[in-house]
Amino acid sequence: MEIKVYNSLTRQKELFEPIQKNKIGLYTCGPTVYDYPHIGNLLAYTIWDVMKRFLLSQGYKVTHVMNVTDVGHLTSDADDGEDKLEKAGRSSGKSAWEIAEYFSRVFMNNMHNLNILPPTKMIRATDSIKDQIEFVKILEEKGYLYKTSDGMYFDTSKIEDYGKLANLANVDQQEGARVEKNLEKKNPTDFAVWKFSPEDRARDMEWESPWGIGFPGWHLECSVMSRNELGDTFDIHTGGIDHLTVHHPNEMAQSEAVTGKQQANYWMHNEHVKFEGGKMSKSAGTFVRLEDLKEKGYSPMSFRYLVLQNHYRKSLNFSWESLDAAQSRLTNIIKEIAWYDKPKGKCKDLCEEFNQAMADDINTAKALAVLQKVIESDNPSSAKMRCILKMDEVLGLDLENLKNKALELSGEIDIILKKRKEVREKKDWSESDRLRDKLVALGVDVQDTPKGQRAIQVKF
């Protein structure tokens, strides 16, 4: 099937052509583990998971690599902020290592809750320091670096088309957003590849290097890991749209400086999540974590559904009402499929339509609409079930498991159902109705069929 994706590099939708026929190298910029991820961070991993699942469904073998930033990500893109992990450690009385350990676990749990397939390889920045130092040595030998009082910097003016990805030439060099504070930098866009530890105190995380004790610049790890695991040039590089103007141009510049080749052929970026139209911020109480959703009784799968209702290149306007609507939509799907027969046969045209939607720059909103079409179609329920399960291999809504869970009823509910069966046999309709109300109050759906009553309870 012809797959088209929007490539930030060419700023257009392009036919996707992998380097090798059946294999795809995919790199996703991972989390900085200094705090809880907010749902905007998690949207990115959800989207790229669906894309990966789709590629897998089309018969590709996907090698997916993701970094975990546990050192070197500064609070300011101008390379003069503090290391986010060291800062989080200091303010909580823990070491940067403990912070990294804790929030890596939180991130992995969130990924698991969201039914995101684990990457083929996840690598911590602190586990690749040796390789990062080797990489910087090559940059130095090739004459791309210069030294300042606080680190080794990459001279972006030595790369002819630095910023081509973000079209920086047309963005007025990010005036304001990228305030020039470091007066020793030769160009505002230059960035640190190795930062020196402060002279007056030891950092929690620091390493010896040919340039002095210090730590790697944040952008370095992605260039190093992607090259090691996927080669000089690989197929798809993904990340949030916030990476488009600094992190990704820097990664690309370093990689091209070392290899003389384009780092990745397709660069894909997801848009942000907004909270009721505004930015998510801690101070405004709009910094929403997956844990917050769960505490309010929402399923991570409902958030996943909400993400899929939107196209990844449009920002998602999150509100509790929109999450409510997604959860009830998902609940309705489970109720619909609860009594479907075992999967058998095909809804051929609809499966094809689903794949077409996904192949059109991962149009998940359209793909969900096709799922609904399957439910509403007059195909036999066994064919519908097979088709839905096939689609869910891509959507990852965990429908089969949710359906099975809905059919499992507690002992308490079983007792009420048994009682209701008895009173119905005695034609005591008012007691039967009273028991039905009781079941409904417990979130149970009861249907009276010619074969007797049947019940489900959708649980998240």
Region near Zn ion per CB under 5 A, out of 18-26, 27-35, 53-61, 274-282: 27-35
The partner residues of 455 in beta bridges, in order of sequence, read: 446
The alpha carbon of 57 is separated from its chain's Cα centroid by a whole number of angstroms, namely: 19
Q: What is the smallest separation between the CB atom of 29 and Zn ion, expressed in angstroms?
A: 3
For Zn ion, the closer of residues 72 and 396 by Cβ is: 72
Region near Zn ion per CB under 5 A, out of 117-125, 128-136, 214-222, 294-302: 214-222
Q: List the Cα angle 337/342/346 in 5-degree steps.
A: 85
Q: What is the smallest separation between the CB atom of 214 and Zn ion, expressed in angstroms?
A: 20
Q: Is 222 in the site for Zn ion (CB under 5 A)?
A: yes
Q: What is the smallest separation between the CB atom of 250 and Zn ion, expressed in angstroms?
A: 9
For Zn ion, the closer of residues 128 and 381 by Cβ is: 128
Q: Which of 174, 49, 23 is nearest to 115 (CA)?
A: 49
Region near Zn ion per CB under 5 A, out of 55-63, 144-152, 216-224, 437-445: 216-224
Phi-psi category of residue 26: left, alpha or beta, with phi > 0 → left and psi -120 to 50 → alpha: beta
Q: What secondary structure does DSSP assign to 112-168, as a single string?
A: HHTTPPPPSEEEEGGGSHHHHHHHHHHHHHTT-EEEETTEEEE-GGGSTTTTTTTTG
Q: Is 374 in the site for Zn ion (CB under 5 A)?
A: no
For Zn ion, the closer of residues 116 and 334 by Cβ is: 116
Q: What is the smallest separation between the CB atom of 242 and Zn ion, expressed in angstroms?
A: 11
- 369: helix, strand or coil: helix
For Zn ion, the closer of residues 30 and 396 by Cβ is: 30
Region near Zn ion per CB under 5 A, out of 26-34, 38-46, 136-144, 175-183: 26-34
Question: How many angstroms separate the Cα of 298 from the Cα of each of 325, 370, 440?
Answer: 11, 24, 19
* HSE-up (13 A, CA, CB side) for residue 80: 14
For Zn ion, the closer of residues 263 and 302 by Cβ is: 263
For Zn ion, the closer of residues 226 and 379 by Cβ is: 226
Region near Zn ion per CB under 5 A, out of 5-13, 215-223, 323-331, 378-386: 215-223
Question: How many angstroms separate the Cα of 70 from the Cα of each of 29, 31, 91, 128, 434?
Answer: 13, 9, 16, 11, 58
For Zn ion, the closer of residues 38 and 73 by Cβ is: 73
Question: How many angstroms separate the Cα of 120 from the Cα of each of 64, 67, 126, 127, 218?
Answer: 5, 11, 19, 16, 22
Q: What is the smallest separation between the CB atom of 269 and Zn ion, expressed in angstroms?
A: 12
Q: Is 125 in the site for Zn ion (CB under 5 A)?
A: no
Q: Which residues between 161 and 190 bind Zn ion (CB under 5 A)?
A: none
Residue 452: phi and psi, rounded to 5, are 115, -175
| Calpha distance 301→107 (Å, rounded) | 16
Q: Which residues between 276 and 315 bind Zn ion (CB under 5 A)?
A: none
Residue 377: phi and psi, rounded to 5, are -70, 165
Q: How many residues bind Zn ion (CB under 5 A)?
A: 2
For Zn ion, the closer of residues 29 and 44 by Cβ is: 29
For Zn ion, the closer of residues 7 and 113 by Cβ is: 7
Q: Which residues between 40 and 79 bind Zn ion (CB under 5 A)?
A: none
Phi-psi category of residue 398: left, alpha or beta, with phi > 0 → left and psi -120 to 50 → alpha: left
Q: What is the smallest separation between the CB atom of 69 and Zn ion, expressed in angstroms?
A: 8
- 449: helix, strand or coil: strand
Amino acid identity at 349: D
Residue of the chain from 9, 24, 29, 114 that contacts Zn ion (CB under 5 A): 29
Region near Zn ion per CB under 5 A, out of 8-16, 48-56, 221-229, 447-455: 221-229
Tokens 């990228």, located at residue? 178
Which residues contribute to the site for Zn ion (CB under 5 A)?
29, 222
